[in-house]
Copies of this chain bind each other. A is one copy, B any other.
Protein backbone atom coordinates (compact mmCIF):
# COMPACT_ATOMS: atom_id res chain seq x y z
CA UNK A 1 0.00 0.00 0.00
CA UNK A 2 2.82 2.37 0.83
CA UNK A 3 3.76 4.77 -1.94
CA UNK A 4 7.28 5.99 -2.47
CA UNK A 5 6.86 9.70 -1.92
CA UNK A 6 8.31 12.20 -4.35
CA UNK A 7 7.60 15.69 -5.64
CA UNK A 8 7.04 16.89 -9.20
CA UNK A 9 10.21 17.46 -11.17
CA UNK A 10 11.52 21.00 -11.08
CA UNK A 11 10.01 21.64 -7.64
CA UNK A 12 11.76 21.65 -4.28
CA UNK A 13 11.25 21.10 -0.59
CA UNK A 14 13.03 23.54 1.70
CA UNK A 15 14.20 22.17 5.04
CA UNK A 16 14.95 24.21 8.16
CA UNK A 17 18.48 25.27 7.15
CA UNK A 18 17.50 26.27 3.64
CA UNK A 19 14.49 28.14 4.99
CA UNK A 20 16.67 30.05 7.44
CA UNK A 21 18.85 31.14 4.53
CA UNK A 22 15.94 31.94 2.25
CA UNK A 23 14.23 33.95 4.98
CA UNK A 24 17.43 35.88 5.49
CA UNK A 25 17.39 36.77 1.78
CA UNK A 26 13.71 37.69 1.70
CA UNK A 27 13.87 39.63 4.97
CA UNK A 28 16.86 41.65 3.78
CA UNK A 29 15.25 42.55 0.46
CA UNK A 30 11.92 43.27 2.14
CA UNK A 31 13.45 45.61 4.68
CA UNK A 32 15.21 47.59 1.93
CA UNK A 33 12.00 47.85 -0.10
CA UNK A 34 10.20 49.14 3.00
CA UNK A 35 12.85 51.74 3.73
CA UNK A 36 12.11 53.28 0.34
CA UNK A 37 8.38 53.44 1.00
CA UNK A 38 7.34 50.35 -0.97
CA UNK A 39 4.33 48.51 0.42
CA UNK A 40 3.75 44.80 0.16
CA UNK A 41 0.88 43.27 -1.78
CA UNK A 42 -0.04 39.69 -2.63
CA UNK A 43 -2.06 38.38 -5.53
CA UNK A 44 -3.62 34.91 -5.92
CA UNK A 45 -1.58 32.03 -7.31
CA UNK A 46 -4.32 31.42 -9.85
CA UNK A 47 -5.18 34.04 -12.43
CA UNK A 48 -7.74 33.80 -15.18
CA UNK A 49 -6.05 32.52 -18.33
CA UNK A 50 -7.50 35.53 -20.13
CA UNK A 51 -5.25 37.65 -17.90
CA UNK A 52 -2.14 35.58 -18.62
CA UNK A 53 -2.40 34.44 -22.24
CA UNK A 54 -0.68 36.56 -24.85
CA UNK A 55 1.45 38.44 -22.33
CA UNK A 56 4.63 36.36 -22.55
CA UNK A 57 4.77 35.53 -26.26
CA UNK A 58 3.90 32.17 -27.81
CA UNK A 59 6.68 30.46 -25.90
CA UNK A 60 5.37 31.84 -22.60
CA UNK A 61 1.83 30.69 -23.36
CA UNK A 62 3.17 27.16 -23.70
CA UNK A 63 4.93 27.40 -20.35
CA UNK A 64 1.83 28.39 -18.39
CA UNK A 65 0.56 25.81 -15.92
CA UNK A 66 -3.17 25.45 -16.55
CA UNK A 67 -5.70 24.38 -13.95
CA UNK A 68 -8.46 21.97 -14.79
CA UNK A 69 -11.87 23.53 -14.19
CA UNK A 70 -13.41 22.20 -11.00
CA UNK A 71 -16.50 20.05 -11.04
CA UNK A 72 -16.76 17.94 -14.18
CA UNK A 73 -14.44 19.82 -16.51
CA UNK A 74 -15.56 17.81 -19.52
CA UNK A 75 -19.34 18.22 -19.08
CA UNK A 76 -20.75 19.48 -22.37
CA UNK A 77 -17.28 19.74 -23.92
CA UNK A 78 -16.63 18.35 -27.37
CA UNK A 79 -13.61 16.14 -26.72
CA UNK A 80 -12.94 15.73 -30.43
CA UNK A 81 -11.54 19.27 -30.56
CA UNK A 82 -7.80 19.64 -31.12
CA UNK A 83 -5.59 19.76 -28.02
CA UNK A 84 -5.21 23.53 -27.95
CA UNK A 85 -8.92 24.29 -28.30
CA UNK A 86 -9.82 21.51 -25.90
CA UNK A 87 -7.46 22.69 -23.19
CA UNK A 88 -8.98 26.18 -23.40
CA UNK A 89 -12.43 24.68 -22.84
CA UNK A 90 -11.45 22.64 -19.81
CA UNK A 91 -8.99 25.12 -18.21
CA UNK A 92 -10.00 28.70 -17.47
CA UNK A 93 -7.28 29.45 -14.97
CA UNK A 94 -3.52 29.24 -14.82
CA UNK A 95 -0.75 29.66 -12.25
CA UNK A 96 0.94 33.05 -12.31
CA UNK A 97 4.02 33.10 -14.52
CA UNK A 98 5.61 36.22 -13.07
CA UNK A 99 4.64 39.03 -10.70
CA UNK A 100 4.51 41.77 -13.33
CA UNK A 101 1.32 40.87 -15.17
CA UNK A 102 -0.59 40.22 -11.93
CA UNK A 103 0.73 43.58 -10.69
CA UNK A 104 -0.58 45.34 -13.81
CA UNK A 105 -3.91 43.58 -13.37
CA UNK A 106 -3.97 44.59 -9.68
CA UNK A 107 -3.27 48.25 -10.45
CA UNK A 108 -6.07 48.45 -13.00
CA UNK A 109 -8.54 46.54 -10.88
CA UNK A 110 -7.86 48.56 -7.72
CA UNK A 111 -6.95 51.91 -9.29
CA UNK A 112 -9.51 53.80 -7.24
CA UNK A 113 -8.17 52.52 -3.92
CA UNK A 114 -4.50 53.26 -4.61
CA UNK A 115 -2.35 56.31 -3.93
CA UNK A 116 -0.27 57.08 -7.05
CA UNK A 117 2.59 56.83 -7.70
CA UNK A 118 1.86 53.38 -6.34
CA UNK A 119 5.00 51.80 -4.91
CA UNK A 120 4.52 48.14 -4.24
CA UNK A 121 6.69 45.14 -3.60
CA UNK A 122 5.72 41.53 -3.90
CA UNK A 123 7.56 38.38 -2.86
CA UNK A 124 5.76 35.28 -4.06
CA UNK A 125 6.39 32.10 -6.01
CA UNK A 126 5.78 31.86 -9.76
CA UNK A 127 5.39 28.75 -11.88
CA UNK A 128 6.74 27.92 -15.31
CA UNK A 129 6.54 24.62 -17.15
CA UNK A 130 10.12 25.03 -18.33
CA UNK A 131 12.33 22.00 -18.81
CA UNK A 132 13.99 21.70 -15.38
CA UNK A 133 17.78 21.97 -15.32
CA UNK A 134 20.50 23.08 -12.93
CA UNK A 135 19.40 26.37 -11.41
CA UNK A 136 16.10 26.43 -13.31
CA UNK A 137 12.99 25.39 -11.45
CA UNK A 138 9.30 25.07 -12.20
CA UNK A 139 8.45 26.89 -8.98
CA UNK A 140 10.58 29.76 -7.78
CA UNK A 141 10.20 33.00 -5.88
CA UNK A 142 10.39 36.43 -7.41
CA UNK A 143 11.06 39.55 -5.35
CA UNK A 144 9.77 42.54 -7.26
CA UNK A 145 9.46 46.24 -6.51
CA UNK A 146 7.67 48.60 -8.88
CA UNK A 147 6.72 52.26 -8.79
CA UNK A 148 3.93 53.13 -11.18
CA UNK A 149 2.27 56.44 -12.04
CA UNK A 150 5.23 58.75 -12.50
CA UNK A 151 7.74 59.32 -15.29
CA UNK A 152 10.34 60.85 -12.98
CA UNK A 153 13.85 59.45 -13.07
CA UNK A 154 13.70 59.50 -9.28
CA UNK A 155 12.04 56.12 -9.80
CA UNK A 156 15.06 54.75 -11.65
CA UNK A 157 17.32 56.21 -8.97
CA UNK A 158 15.39 54.39 -6.23
CA UNK A 159 15.85 51.11 -8.08
CA UNK A 160 19.59 51.71 -8.28
CA UNK A 161 19.73 52.70 -4.59
CA UNK A 162 17.80 49.60 -3.58
CA UNK A 163 20.13 47.37 -5.60
CA UNK A 164 23.08 49.05 -3.92
CA UNK A 165 21.67 48.64 -0.43
CA UNK A 166 20.46 45.06 -0.88
CA UNK A 167 23.79 43.76 -2.14
CA UNK A 168 25.90 45.73 0.29
CA UNK A 169 23.73 44.25 3.08
CA UNK A 170 24.51 40.81 1.68
CA UNK A 171 28.21 41.63 1.38
CA UNK A 172 28.09 40.76 -2.33
CA UNK A 173 30.14 43.02 -4.62
CA UNK A 174 28.16 43.73 -7.78
CA UNK A 175 28.24 45.64 -11.02
CA UNK A 176 24.99 47.33 -12.02
CA UNK A 177 24.70 47.72 -15.77
CA UNK A 178 22.39 50.37 -17.17
CA UNK A 179 21.12 51.02 -20.64
CA UNK A 180 18.08 52.73 -22.14
CA UNK A 181 15.61 51.32 -24.62
CA UNK A 182 15.21 54.73 -26.26
CA UNK A 183 18.87 54.58 -27.18
CA UNK A 184 18.29 51.16 -28.73
CA UNK A 185 15.23 52.50 -30.57
CA UNK A 186 17.34 55.43 -31.79
CA UNK A 187 19.92 52.98 -33.05
CA UNK A 188 17.31 51.07 -35.02
CA UNK A 189 16.23 54.41 -36.44
CA UNK A 190 19.71 55.48 -37.58
CA UNK A 191 20.26 51.98 -38.96
CA UNK A 192 17.37 52.70 -41.26
CA UNK A 193 15.19 49.94 -39.85
CA UNK A 194 13.07 51.44 -37.05
CA UNK A 195 10.70 48.48 -37.24
CA UNK A 196 13.57 46.13 -36.38
CA UNK A 197 14.24 47.38 -32.86
CA UNK A 198 12.98 44.14 -31.37
CA UNK A 199 15.17 42.06 -33.69
CA UNK A 200 18.17 44.24 -32.92
CA UNK A 201 17.69 44.14 -29.15
CA UNK A 202 17.02 40.41 -29.07
CA UNK A 203 20.17 39.84 -31.11
CA UNK A 204 22.46 42.15 -29.18
CA UNK A 205 21.09 40.87 -25.87
CA UNK A 206 23.11 37.77 -26.74
CA UNK A 207 26.46 39.48 -27.24
CA UNK A 208 27.87 38.23 -23.93
CA UNK A 209 26.74 34.68 -24.64
CA UNK A 210 27.56 34.13 -28.31
CA UNK A 211 30.04 36.89 -29.21
CA UNK A 212 30.16 39.60 -31.82
CA UNK A 213 30.43 37.43 -34.91
CA UNK A 214 27.40 35.30 -34.10
CA UNK A 215 25.37 38.38 -33.26
CA UNK A 216 26.39 39.89 -36.59
CA UNK A 217 25.22 36.72 -38.34
CA UNK A 218 21.98 36.80 -36.41
CA UNK A 219 21.40 40.44 -37.32
CA UNK A 220 21.94 39.62 -40.98
CA UNK A 221 19.53 36.72 -40.66
CA UNK A 222 16.98 39.06 -39.15
CA UNK A 223 17.18 41.19 -42.29
CA UNK A 224 19.68 43.93 -41.42
CA UNK A 225 21.92 45.02 -44.28
CA UNK A 226 25.64 45.81 -44.24
CA UNK A 227 25.04 49.52 -43.74
CA UNK A 228 22.91 48.87 -40.69
CA UNK A 229 25.39 46.41 -39.25
CA UNK A 230 28.11 48.94 -39.97
CA UNK A 231 26.31 51.46 -37.78
CA UNK A 232 25.70 48.94 -34.99
CA UNK A 233 29.11 47.29 -34.79
CA UNK A 234 31.09 50.11 -33.15
CA UNK A 235 28.27 50.56 -30.64
CA UNK A 236 28.46 46.99 -29.45
CA UNK A 237 32.16 47.23 -28.72
CA UNK A 238 32.24 50.76 -27.31
CA UNK A 239 34.85 51.19 -24.58
CA UNK A 240 35.80 53.89 -22.09
CA UNK A 241 34.07 55.86 -19.33
CA UNK A 242 30.37 56.61 -19.25
CA UNK A 243 31.16 60.17 -20.38
CA UNK A 244 33.18 58.87 -23.34
CA UNK A 245 30.45 56.46 -24.35
CA UNK A 246 27.77 59.14 -24.07
CA UNK A 247 29.82 61.50 -26.21
CA UNK A 248 30.29 58.89 -28.94
CA UNK A 249 26.61 58.00 -28.86
CA UNK A 250 25.55 61.65 -29.10
CA UNK A 251 27.28 61.63 -32.47
CA UNK A 252 26.01 58.27 -33.70
CA UNK A 253 22.42 59.12 -32.74
CA UNK A 254 22.62 62.73 -33.93
CA UNK A 255 19.61 62.37 -36.20
CA UNK A 256 17.38 60.49 -33.77
CA UNK A 257 15.22 62.50 -31.39
CA UNK A 258 14.30 59.36 -29.45
CA UNK A 259 17.95 58.38 -29.20
CA UNK A 260 18.90 61.84 -27.84
CA UNK A 261 16.08 61.61 -25.29
CA UNK A 262 17.48 58.26 -24.15
CA UNK A 263 20.95 59.73 -23.79
CA UNK A 264 19.49 62.66 -21.80
CA UNK A 265 17.85 60.21 -19.42
CA UNK A 266 21.06 58.23 -18.98
CA UNK A 267 22.98 61.39 -18.26
CA UNK A 268 20.47 62.67 -15.72
CA UNK A 269 20.24 59.28 -14.00
CA UNK A 270 24.03 59.01 -13.66
CA UNK A 271 24.00 62.50 -12.13
CA UNK A 272 21.41 61.44 -9.54
CA UNK A 273 23.32 58.25 -8.80
CA UNK A 274 26.39 60.32 -8.03
CA UNK A 275 24.44 62.72 -5.79
CA UNK A 276 22.92 59.85 -3.86
CA UNK A 277 26.36 58.42 -3.10
CA UNK A 278 25.63 54.99 -4.55
CA UNK A 279 28.58 52.80 -3.62
CA UNK A 280 28.36 49.87 -6.01
CA UNK A 281 29.90 49.78 -9.44
CA UNK A 282 27.42 51.37 -11.91
CA UNK A 283 28.22 51.13 -15.59
CA UNK A 284 26.63 52.16 -18.86
CA UNK A 285 26.43 49.06 -21.04
CA UNK A 286 25.04 49.77 -24.49
CA UNK A 287 24.90 46.07 -25.32
CA UNK A 288 22.42 45.48 -22.52
CA UNK A 289 18.98 44.91 -24.00
CA UNK A 290 17.06 42.46 -21.80
CA UNK A 291 14.68 40.03 -23.39
CA UNK A 292 11.35 41.38 -22.26
CA UNK A 293 9.96 43.79 -24.73
CA UNK A 294 7.73 45.88 -22.52
CA UNK A 295 10.62 48.10 -21.39
CA UNK A 296 10.63 51.58 -22.93
CA UNK A 297 13.27 53.54 -21.01
CA UNK A 298 16.04 52.63 -18.59
CA UNK A 299 16.97 48.98 -18.26
CA UNK A 300 19.11 47.43 -15.52
CA UNK A 301 20.97 44.25 -14.89
CA UNK A 302 23.13 43.25 -11.92
CA UNK A 303 26.03 40.83 -11.93
CA UNK A 304 28.03 39.49 -9.01
CA UNK A 305 31.71 40.44 -9.33
CA UNK A 306 33.17 37.53 -7.37
CA UNK A 307 30.98 34.65 -8.46
CA UNK A 308 30.26 33.24 -11.90
CA UNK A 309 26.52 33.18 -12.47
CA UNK A 310 24.02 34.94 -14.74
CA UNK A 311 22.31 38.18 -13.83
CA UNK A 312 21.06 38.23 -10.22
CA UNK A 313 18.72 41.18 -10.56
CA UNK A 314 17.19 43.15 -13.40
CA UNK A 315 14.49 45.62 -14.33
CA UNK A 316 13.60 48.76 -16.17
CA UNK A 317 11.11 51.44 -17.15
CA UNK A 318 7.91 50.58 -18.99
CA UNK A 319 5.36 53.04 -20.29
CA UNK A 320 2.31 51.00 -20.97
CA UNK A 321 2.17 47.94 -18.74
CA UNK A 322 -1.45 48.50 -17.74
CA UNK A 323 -2.70 49.47 -21.21
CA UNK A 324 -3.64 45.91 -22.06
CA UNK A 325 -6.03 45.95 -19.10
CA UNK A 326 -7.60 49.26 -20.10
CA UNK A 327 -5.54 51.81 -18.17
CA UNK A 328 -3.27 53.68 -20.63
CA UNK A 329 -0.48 56.18 -19.95
CA UNK A 330 0.78 54.72 -16.71
CA UNK A 331 4.54 54.83 -16.70
CA UNK A 332 6.39 52.73 -14.21
CA UNK A 333 9.76 51.36 -13.29
CA UNK A 334 10.49 48.05 -11.62
CA UNK A 335 13.11 45.65 -10.49
CA UNK A 336 13.24 41.96 -9.74
CA UNK A 337 15.72 40.19 -7.46
CA UNK A 338 16.55 36.59 -8.29
CA UNK A 339 16.35 34.89 -4.91
CA UNK A 340 17.60 31.50 -6.09
CA UNK A 341 20.72 32.89 -7.70
CA UNK A 342 21.39 35.16 -4.74
CA UNK A 343 21.11 32.03 -2.59
CA UNK A 344 23.77 30.35 -4.71
CA UNK A 345 26.06 33.40 -4.62
CA UNK A 346 25.76 33.71 -0.82
CA UNK A 347 26.45 30.00 -0.48
CA UNK A 348 29.38 30.09 -2.88
CA UNK A 349 30.96 33.10 -1.20
CA UNK A 350 30.05 31.88 2.30
CA UNK A 351 28.43 35.17 3.15
CA UNK A 352 25.60 33.97 5.39
CA UNK A 353 25.60 35.35 8.93
CA UNK A 354 26.77 32.67 11.35
CA UNK A 355 23.77 32.40 13.64
CA UNK A 356 21.15 31.68 10.95
CA UNK A 357 20.62 27.98 11.49
CA UNK A 358 20.23 28.08 15.25
CA UNK A 359 16.76 27.06 16.35
CA UNK A 360 16.55 26.99 20.15
CA UNK A 361 19.24 28.55 22.37
CA UNK A 362 19.00 25.77 24.92
CA UNK A 363 17.70 22.23 25.15
CA UNK A 364 16.51 20.97 28.52
CA UNK A 365 17.29 17.29 28.64
CA UNK A 366 14.44 15.10 29.83
CA UNK A 367 15.45 12.96 32.81
CA UNK A 368 11.92 11.79 33.63
CA UNK A 369 8.45 13.17 34.15
CA UNK A 370 9.16 14.80 37.50
CA UNK A 371 12.35 16.40 36.18
CA UNK A 372 10.50 17.74 33.14
CA UNK A 373 7.86 19.32 35.37
CA UNK A 374 10.67 20.91 37.39
CA UNK A 375 11.96 22.61 34.22
CA UNK A 376 8.58 23.76 32.92
CA UNK A 377 8.26 27.10 34.77
CA UNK A 378 11.85 28.03 33.83
CA UNK A 379 11.15 27.31 30.15
CA UNK A 380 8.09 29.55 30.37
CA UNK A 381 10.16 32.38 31.88
CA UNK A 382 12.88 32.06 29.23
CA UNK A 383 10.35 32.27 26.40
CA UNK A 384 8.76 35.28 28.06
CA UNK A 385 12.20 36.85 27.86
CA UNK A 386 12.19 36.09 24.14
CA UNK A 387 14.56 33.13 24.28
CA UNK A 388 13.74 30.07 22.22
CA UNK A 389 14.11 26.89 24.24
CA UNK A 390 12.70 23.41 24.34
CA UNK A 391 12.35 20.46 26.67
CA UNK A 392 13.18 17.13 25.06
CA UNK A 393 9.83 15.34 25.11
CA UNK A 394 10.97 11.85 26.16
CA UNK A 395 13.34 10.65 28.84
CA UNK A 396 15.47 8.91 26.23
CA UNK A 397 19.13 8.01 26.59
CA UNK A 398 21.22 11.14 27.06
CA UNK A 399 23.30 10.34 24.01
CA UNK A 400 20.18 10.57 21.89
CA UNK A 401 19.25 13.88 23.46
CA UNK A 402 22.74 15.30 22.90
CA UNK A 403 22.61 14.10 19.34
CA UNK A 404 19.31 15.94 18.88
CA UNK A 405 20.85 19.19 20.16
CA UNK A 406 23.82 18.67 17.90
CA UNK A 407 21.76 18.03 14.77
CA UNK A 408 19.54 21.03 15.41
CA UNK A 409 22.53 23.26 16.19
CA UNK A 410 21.30 24.06 19.70
CA UNK A 411 24.31 25.60 21.49
CA UNK A 412 23.42 24.92 25.15
CA UNK A 413 22.03 21.95 27.03
CA UNK A 414 20.75 21.71 30.59
CA UNK A 415 20.66 18.42 32.48
CA UNK A 416 18.77 18.54 35.73
CA UNK A 417 18.16 15.38 37.76
CA UNK A 418 17.20 14.59 41.33
CA UNK A 419 20.27 16.39 42.77
CA UNK A 420 19.48 19.65 40.98
CA UNK A 421 15.85 19.46 42.02
CA UNK A 422 16.85 18.90 45.65
CA UNK A 423 19.22 21.90 45.54
CA UNK A 424 16.88 23.97 43.29
CA UNK A 425 19.68 24.41 40.80
CA UNK A 426 19.90 24.60 37.01
CA UNK A 427 22.90 23.08 35.27
CA UNK A 428 23.83 24.58 31.91
CA UNK A 429 26.49 23.38 29.50
CA UNK A 430 27.94 25.17 26.48
CA UNK A 431 28.18 22.38 23.92
CA UNK A 432 30.90 24.05 21.85
CA UNK A 433 33.31 25.02 24.65
CA UNK A 434 32.28 22.35 27.16
CA UNK A 435 31.98 25.03 29.84
CA UNK A 436 29.44 24.12 32.48
CA UNK A 437 27.77 26.24 35.14
CA UNK A 438 25.21 25.77 37.90
CA UNK A 439 22.66 28.51 38.59
CA UNK A 440 20.02 29.04 41.23
CA UNK A 441 16.67 28.14 39.72
CA UNK A 442 15.44 31.72 40.00
CA UNK A 443 18.61 33.33 38.64
CA UNK A 444 17.01 33.99 35.26
CA UNK A 445 19.38 36.87 34.54
CA UNK A 446 22.44 34.74 35.15
CA UNK A 447 21.17 31.96 32.93
CA UNK A 448 20.27 34.39 30.15
CA UNK A 449 23.67 36.06 30.37
CA UNK A 450 25.39 32.67 30.04
CA UNK A 451 23.42 31.42 27.07
Complex CA gap A120/B16 in Å reads: 8
A19's contact among B11, B39, B86, B108, by CB below 8 Å, is which?
Answer: B39
Chain B proximity mask over A272-284: 1 for CB below 8 Å, otherwise 0: 1001110000000
Would B391 and A44 count as touching, CB distance under 8 A? no
Q: Which residues of B contact A360 (CB under 8 A)?
A: 37
Other-chain contact of A390, B36, B72, B388 (Cβ < 8 Å): B36
The yes or no answer to A172 lying at the interface (CB within 8 A) is no
Q: Please tell me if A329 contacts chain B, counting CB pairs below 8 Å.
A: no
Min CB gap A393→B, angstroms: 4
* Closest residue on chain B to residue A51 by CB atoms: B5
Binary contact track A13-49/B, C-beta < 8 Å → 1, others 0? 1111001101100000000001111111111111110
**Assembly CA distance A4 to B74 (angstroms):** 27
In the complex, are the beta carbons of B389 and A325 less than 8 A apart?
A: no
A23, A127, A154, A404: most-surrounded residue (chain B CB, <10 A) = A154
B70 touches A65 (CB 8 A): yes
Task: Tell whether, in the assembled complex, residue A37 and residue B389 are in contact, meaning their CB atoms are under 8 Å apart.
Answer: yes
A408, B323: Cα distance in complex, Å:
25
Contact across chains for B83 and A45 when beta carbons are under 8 A apart: no
Contact of A152 among B87, B91, B376, B394 (CB under 8 A): B394
Is A3 in the interface zone, CB < 8 Å from B?
yes
- Cβ B70 vs Cβ A383 within 8 A: no
Q: Which residues of B contact A373 (CB under 8 A)?
A: 272, 275
A397 close to chain B: CB less than 8 A: no
Whether the Cβ atoms of A45 and B87 lie closer than 8 Å is no
- Contact present for B46 and A139 (CB under 8 Å): yes
Whether A2 contacts B150 in the complex (CB less than 8 A), given A37-B388, A373-B275, A383-B36, comes out as no
A90 surroundings in chain B (CB, below 8 A):
68
Residues of B within 8 A of A37 (CB): 359-360, 363, 388-390, 408, 410
Could you tell me which residues of chain A, from 389 to 441, have a CB within 8 Å of some CB in chain B? Answer: 389-391, 393-394, 403-404, 407-408, 410
B154 touches A372 (CB 8 A): yes
State whether A41 and B66 are in contact (beta carbons under 8 Å apart), knowing that A377-B275, A386-B35 are contacts in the complex: no
Closest to A11 in B: B44
A276 to B154, CA, bound (A): 55
Q: Decide: A16 and B40 in contact? CB cutoff 8 A.
A: yes
Bound complex: CA A365 to CA B113 (Å)? 22
CB < 8 Å neighbour of A408 from B47, B62, B115: B115
* Pair B277/A393 contact, Cβ less than 8 Å: no
Option from B5, B272, B383 in Cβ contact (under 8 Å) with A376 = B272
Whether, in the assembled complex, A165 has its beta carbon less than 8 Å from a beta carbon of chain B, the answer is yes
Query: Would you call A63 an interface residue if the criterion is a C-beta within 8 Å of the partner chain's C-beta atoms?
Result: yes
Q: For A93, give the chain B residue with the smallest CB separation.
A: B8
Q: Kindly state the separation between the CA atoms of A363 and B154 in the bound complex, as whole angstroms.
A: 14
Which chain A residues numbered 331 to 381 have a C-beta less than 8 Å away from chain B? Answer: 359-360, 363, 366, 372-373, 376-377, 380
Q: How far is the CA of A95 from the CA of B67 in the complex (A)?
A: 9
Report if A449 contacts B (CB, 8 A).
Answer: no
Cα A36 to Cα B410 in complex, Å, equals: 12
The answer to whether A7 and B275 have CB atoms under 8 Å apart is no
Q: Is the CB of A377 within 8 A of B13?
A: no
Whole-angstrom CA separation of A445 from B293 in the bound complex: 46
Given A16-B39, A20-B39: 14 more A-B contacts, CB < 8 Å:
A2-B324, A3-B326, A5-B108, A7-B51, A15-B41, A35-B388, A36-B388, A46-B138, A67-B68, A68-B90, A74-B87, A75-B83, A154-B372, A155-B393
Q: Which residues on A are within 8 Å of B, measured CB to CB?
A: 1-8, 11-16, 19-20, 22-23, 34-48, 50-51, 62-63, 65-68, 70-75, 79-80, 83, 86-87, 90-93, 95, 105-106, 108-110, 113-117, 119-120, 125, 127, 129, 138-139, 147, 150-152, 154-155, 161, 165, 272, 275-277, 323-326, 359-360, 363, 366, 372-373, 376-377, 380, 383, 386-391, 393-394, 403-404, 407-408, 410
5 A-B pairs within 8 Å (CB atoms) are namely A7-B51, A36-B388, A45-B45, A74-B87, A275-B377
